Structure 1
């Protein structure tokens, strides 16, 4: 097998929430594989720091500062991203948020906040990127960042009250499968990754508080690290994964086994 199967030279990847955490990890992998990168995030200074970091690695990077919860702005975000390098070949829907509260006390505005960023924004952005770039080209890769939380509930002993987050990630897994069957005949692969616990802004507090309880439930006995999502993300974006579509790959150290 040739490692050229993993080469992304000549392709452009749009990564939402790409300035830090899992989005930046994926950007590092794609940049190292030769892709041109377009990153979105809300905070301009974080985008500038990420672009400098990736540029020092040799990647070509453009950035678009935006708030994807402002749904009406997404068509313009897609247009700006596509204009940066002349198109979009890979879309990573990574930006997300959570809200912690028991069901009986969960506020509706918290539910709506999670659903807007985690479900509606990826839906609208994917539609725009598809119409503008991938469908006319007859090719593309879409990688949705879901979560093991979307595969079921939470252990009661962990007292993790994230019903909106779990529901949103379950929705993205079903969205992935439905879109894969619809756009597969038109040359577009659509897959999802379901990370377990990685040291991100969303998860770090829980990891610090619950590590002793959580670790026995992870067969590999460790949380995800800075390199652990890169391989699966590269597989799904490259020719190495060209016959994979409609799948959700758990990257969780065996939590869901």
Structure 2
């Protein structure tokens, strides 16, 4: 009985920004738990490669290319998925970017770019999918936050601002939509070796600092985020709402 609580068989999950890195790993985890997964990215070729890899692992995977920062394209894509593929039971808002730079010289265009990618996209996709979930009176939405939903570090203030906003948007979505039997929660990854963190992974000074700063003493592996996603997507989390689970090797627990 307890294992069945985490069974996602018969569920369909849309994961944004899932052609690589954390998004692809989350899609793999949900797929292995039984869900059919819909991958999303802007580049169709990279999406095709990811879908092929998941199918080779026995996962029911489909790719749908669209830009999550374009409200009109998002609405069109979600409506098409619902009509042609099937209802979206689980939404994972993973798409995001990082643009580093000193705050005093941070370009205005780059500020708008990172807000569109990291915050607007969560609102756009959640709103489009949420309308269908409200009609069905059920659904799971998982937003991907960050340690930077709670902390800050030099040169990434705009990123920190967007991830802090994702945390509070998660709470707001819960407040509005929990009445419709929709559970909206977030995962806050710590430092994981992904393409987004490539510059940090390859920096010996930062690598050494991180390992000393993290109680677990290492970088996270993307597959270590799968368990939290499966939990939040499953019936085991039916009364968990408006929360953010940090998967960080203990970074937030210590100073």
- TM-score of the superposed pair, with normalisation by structure 1: 0.95
- The separation in 2 between residues aligned to 1:204 and 1:40, in whole angstroms, is 21
Partner residue in 1 for 2:173: 179
- The separation in 2 between residues aligned to 1:65 and 1:197, in whole angstroms, is 27
Question: Do 1:197 and 1:207's aligned partners in 2 also have CA atoms closer than 8 Å?
Answer: no
- The separation in 1 between residues aligned to 2:112 and 2:75, in whole angstroms, is 21
Please state how far the C-alpha of 1:60 moved relative to its aligned partner: 1.5
Question: Do 1:8 and 1:238's aligned partners in 2 also have CA atoms closer than 8 Å?
Answer: yes
The count of residues paired between Structure 1 and Structure 2 equals 251
- The separation in 2 between residues aligned to 1:68 and 1:230, in whole angstroms, is 22
Partner residue in 1 for 2:13: 13
- TM-score of the superposed pair, with normalisation by structure 2: 0.95
Partner residue in 2 for 1:220: 216
Partner residue in 1 for 2:138: 139
Equivalent in 231, 245, 248 of residue 249 of structure 1: 245
3-state DSSP of counterpart to 2:185: strand
Is 227-236 or 68-77 further displaced after alignment? Answer: 68-77
- The separation in 2 between residues aligned to 1:83 and 1:39, in whole angstroms, is 17
CA distance 1:108–1:30, change in 2 (3 Å): same
Question: Do 1:12 and 1:85's aligned partners in 2 also have CA atoms closer than 8 Å?
Answer: no
Matched, 1:114 2:114: yes
Is 235-244 or 186-195 further displaced after alignment? Answer: 235-244
Please state how far the C-alpha of 1:227 moved relative to its aligned partner: 1.8
Question: Do 2:69 and 2:124's aligned partners in 1 also have CA atoms closer than 8 Å?
Answer: no
3-state DSSP of counterpart to 2:252: coil
Question: Do 2:144 and 2:188's aligned partners in 1 also have CA atoms closer than 8 Å?
Answer: yes
Which blocks of at least 5 consecutive residues in structure 2 are unaligned?
Answer: none
The structure 1 segments of at least 4 consecutive aligned residues displaced by more than 6 Å after TM superposition are none
Matched, 1:129 2:140: no
3-state DSSP of counterpart to 1:250: strand
Equivalent in 174, 179, 191 of residue 197 of structure 1: 191
Is 57-66 or 9-18 further displaced after alignment? Answer: 57-66
Please state how far the C-alpha of 1:46 moved relative to its aligned partner: 1.1
3-state DSSP of counterpart to 1:202: helix
3-state DSSP of counterpart to 1:249: strand
Please state how far the C-alpha of 1:83 moved relative to its aligned partner: 3.1
Please state how far the C-alpha of 1:241 moved relative to its aligned partner: 1.4
Please state how far the C-alpha of 1:222 moved relative to its aligned partner: 1.1
Question: Do 1:38 and 1:84's aligned partners in 2 also have CA atoms closer than 8 Å?
Answer: no
- The separation in 2 between residues aligned to 1:81 and 1:203, in whole angstroms, is 31
Partner residue in 2 for 1:42: 42
Please state how far the C-alpha of 1:84 moved relative to its aligned partner: 4.2
Partner residue in 2 for 1:153: 152
Partner residue in 2 for 1:157: none
- The separation in 2 between residues aligned to 1:44 and 1:21, in whole angstroms, is 16
Equivalent in 204, 207, 224 of residue 201 of structure 2: 207
- The separation in 1 between residues aligned to 2:186 and 2:128, in whole angstroms, is 19
CA distance 1:21–1:162, change in 2 (3 Å): same
Partner residue in 2 for 1:238: 234
Matched, 1:229 2:228: no
Please state how far the C-alpha of 1:69 moved relative to its aligned partner: 2.3
